[in-house]
C-alpha cells in the first residue's frame, strides 16, 4: 500500500495490511505539510530462528508503535517519543514500514524451548 505524501488528509485515515501472518494496522493523519503521524499496531505470528540450533519457531507479536513520517530530512531536534521515518520521493509505503519492523524482529536473538531446557540442565549440572 502506497500513498503520495501530499495527498494524505489531515483527518485520520485507517490502514490495514497483512504480510504472511503479521497484521499491521492503525490510523494516520497529516499534522503539518512535512509530517504525518502514524499510530500503528503490529499483531500476529512471526517465524524466527533459534540462535542456538537454528530451528524455526513462531513468536507472537502484539506491539503498538507511534511513528512520525517526515517528508524528506527530519530537522526538528526536539526529543520525540515517536519513531521518526524519513520518506523518500514523497511516497509513503506501508509495506516497507511493515517489512522493516519485521526485519528488526527477525534480527533479534531467540532461543527455542528445547535449547532453553538444555541451558537449565547445564546450570543444574555445574
Ligand atoms: Zn534451539
Mapped to the 3 state alphabet, what secondary structure does the chain carry? Answer: CEEEHHHCCCCCEEEEEEECCEEEEEEEEEEECCEEEEEEEEEEEEEEEECCCCCEEEEEEEEEEEEEEEECCCCCCCCCCCEEEEECCCEEEHHHHHHHHHHHHHCCCECCHHHHHHHHHHHHHC
Which pLDDT does position 123 carry in this prediction? 64
**Distance (Å) from CA 115 to ligand 1 centroid:** 4
Q: How many domains does the chain have?
A: 1
pLDDT in tens, 20-58: 899 999 999 999 999 999 999 999 999 999 999 999 999
The pLDDT of 90-104, averaged and rounded, is: 95
Q: How confident is the model at residue 78 (pLDDT cuts 50, 70, 90)?
A: confident
Which pLDDT does position 42 carry in this prediction? 97
**Distance (Å) from CA 48 to ligand 1 centroid:** 11
Residue numbers of the domain that contains 74: 2-125
**Distance (Å) from CA 110 to ligand 1 centroid:** 8
Report residue 24: phi and psi, to 5°: -125, 115
Give how far the C-alpha of residue 109 lies from the chain's centroid of Cα atoms, to the nearest Å. Answer: 16
The pLDDT of 105-115, averaged and rounded, is: 93
Which pLDDT does position 118 carry in this prediction? 81
**Distance (Å) from CA 42 to ligand 1 centroid:** 25
Tell me how long the chain is. 126
**Distance (Å) from CA 50 to ligand 1 centroid:** 5
**3: burial class by Cβ within 10 Å (0-12, 13-18, 19+)?**
middle
Amino acid at each position: 500500500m502506497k500513498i503520495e505524501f501530499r495527498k494524505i488528509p489531515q483527518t485520520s485515515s485507517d490502514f490495514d495490511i497483512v504480510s504472511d501472518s503479521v497484521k499491521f494496522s492503525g490510523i494516520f493523519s497529516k499534522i503539518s505539510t512535512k509530517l504525518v503521524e502514524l499510530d500503528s499496531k503490529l499483531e500476529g505470528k512471526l517465524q524466527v530462528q533459534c540462535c542456538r540450533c537454528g530451528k524455526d519457531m513462531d513468536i507472537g507479536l502484539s506491539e503498538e508503535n507511534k511513528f512520525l513520517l517526515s517528508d524528506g530530512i527530519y530537522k526538528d531536534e526536539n526529543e520525540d517519543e515517536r519513531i521518526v521515518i524519513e520518506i523518500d520521493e514523497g511516497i509513503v509505503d506501508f509495506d516497507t514500514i511493515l517489512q522493516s519492523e519485521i526485519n528488526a524482529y527477525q534480527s533479534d536473538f531467540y532461543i527455542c524451548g528445547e535449547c532453553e531446557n538444555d541451558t537449565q540442565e547445564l546450570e543444574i549440572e555445574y
